[in-house]
Chains A and B, each alone.
Chain A
């Protein structure tokens, strides 16, 4: 049996990861373990290294040292598309879609690799039933059916954020990383986004960076707190709420 098949293998296991830019150590010795099927939130003050951690896990940056395992398999130093093909998909804090292509085409591009069509130049893309079905399903899931033929660049902000999540989950990855999915949204939009995230990540592993504490405590099974490039606490929402170190470093500031 391969390690990925065992359900007690962590979805993501980070051990002793460091990242330096020149002499500046942005991430110092992160250790983090996320179980399969868990919804895990990463919180911390600005500049704590949350986005850098995402960039390291998803292959956007290479760690200076340490190990990152995706369902038991070492992925540190692999390219983003190699990690994506191993079942990890991420979204971006700043909307990062294919602006000149329609909503439909955006989602379809995210489906093509995982349905095995790769770089095929001998197939008609409109004639692939599985691709069509999956794209339509995601389109419906993110409630953008009425905007199907609109170029992504012309969508409203909230619609673009929904599309961003749609692209992230469309490939059917088992591990989903969402970087501040509700940033800049109104309360009503945030509520809708949270229920969307909950539905789309059903049965998958979710790692989410979020500033909105109501989103974090409402969504996450476990929470890790990152301060100055180090995980200072990791636990259930109740444990994090009661942790004095966290209060001092982060939550306390907000309460004050």
Chain B
């Protein structure tokens, strides 16, 4: 009897069960996401934005699958594109075979084939790879990625060499009269799979395996002394990660109607690492934010400047150095201030700091674009345009202005960000005191 009594007492120590309003809020978020995905093409209906949305959806799935490894289980992979690419190739071959034999399998099921392909290869290779995490895992993933990427150019019958393998997605068995020719139909196909994949990967984090992934990330040694084999945990995480990467690859193959060696390459593996990290690996939504940000930014920047990858790299360095929690980490930092209603106290110091920072960035851009003019196109007209702003790269005044902007901007930015740090500390302690008082 005392046992029963003590159990009842102990359950008071457990976190409170979600209330009805918590549950409504939780399901409301998913419902709102679904509605947003439905109406998005109505608001932005141009062909360009549909293509952008489709690419964003694919990178969201890919980045989230990557974060199962990096953020959830603490495994840094340099070769995640392998599972993305193999998923894409298998999906392309499946579309061709199914179309040729006229089997009654519709296009919306093809991403599943990509997913199973990703899962299969991850399961095949993963056991050896996940023996260790850390540097050993990172190095093996890199080596393996190089191996697969180079065999893509050698095994021509499967990978199609330089040209890749193409397919016609409209030749498959039709459901509801959908041909999947127009981009709008492809958008909805990708949006549906994106939503399914996000929900599935979120659910995974809430399972015993998902929790043990976090435990392995934090302390693989201790995990062994609570009954778990960290190797098995890493292996299962790796398989799930491969599965969702395969789905993303298949969607990309459907979207472009082609799979080529670029799908498997180092650039693809690097981009997913960048997106995930820039978004923030510590939060489930981090990779989503990062995928949206990086995809839109890379599409936008490539129109504005020819060295967009350079800016991209600089931005990545800045995130690693100054905001290791990524964009989401920066936003989440402000939660205690918002809760205490003290966010406005930070705004003046932010505004003061933004001005010299922007000056520094402008100076850097002018310098980079001028250098690019001299090194890449020295014989062309010096009247160049960067980010829509025309200027003359040969004029000494441009050099002088950029030098002044960089030096003065740097000094003032350092000073003002130090001030921001002080204001931050003061505001945060005030916010904590206020929350404690209530």
Contacts and interface: CB of A to CB of B under 8 A. Distances in A.
A25 B97 CA distance: 66
Interface stretch (A9-17, A99-107, A198-206, A225-233): A99-107
Interface of B: 6-7, 9-15, 203-204, 206-212, 214-215, 217-219, 221-229, 232-233, 236, 240
B303 to A, nearest CB: 40
Interface in A153-168: 167-168
B218 A135 contact: no
Contacts of A79: 224, 229
Given A97-B222, A108-B211, A124-B207, A119 B236 contact: yes
A109 B226 contact: yes
30 contacts: A81-B225, A84-B224, A100-B214, A100-B218, A101-B214, A101-B218, A108-B211, A109-B211, A109-B215, A109-B226, A112-B208, A112-B211, A112-B227, A113-B228, A114-B227, A118-B208, A119-B212, A121-B210, A123-B208, A124-B206, A125-B210, A126-B206, A128-B208, A136-B11, A136-B13, A137-B10, A140-B10, A148-B15, A149-B15, A170-B226
A160 B149 CA distance: 47
B76 to A, nearest CB: 16
Contacts of A80: 224-225
Contact of B13 (A92, A101, A140): A140
A85 B227 contact: yes
B220 to A, nearest CB: 10
B227 A119 contact: no
A58 interface: yes
Contacts of A128: 208
Interface of B, helix, strand, loop or mixed by DSSP? helix
A250 interface: no
Given A81-B225, A125-B211, A139-B14, 5 more contacts: A90-B225, A97-B222, A119-B228, A121-B209, A121-B236
A133 B214 contact: no
Shortest 7 CB-CB contacts between residues of A and residues of B = A113-B227, A80-B224, A136-B14, A98-B218, A121-B209, A137-B10, A117-B208
A47 to B, nearest CB: 22
A21 interface: no
A145 B7 CA distance: 14
A81 B227 contact: yes
A88 B225 CA distance: 9
Contacts of A112: 208, 211-212, 226-228
B65 to A, nearest CB: 15
A69 interface: no
Nearest to A121: B209
Contacts of B221: 96
A167 B228 CA distance: 13
A132 B11 contact: yes
A30 interface: no
Contacts of B223: 81, 109
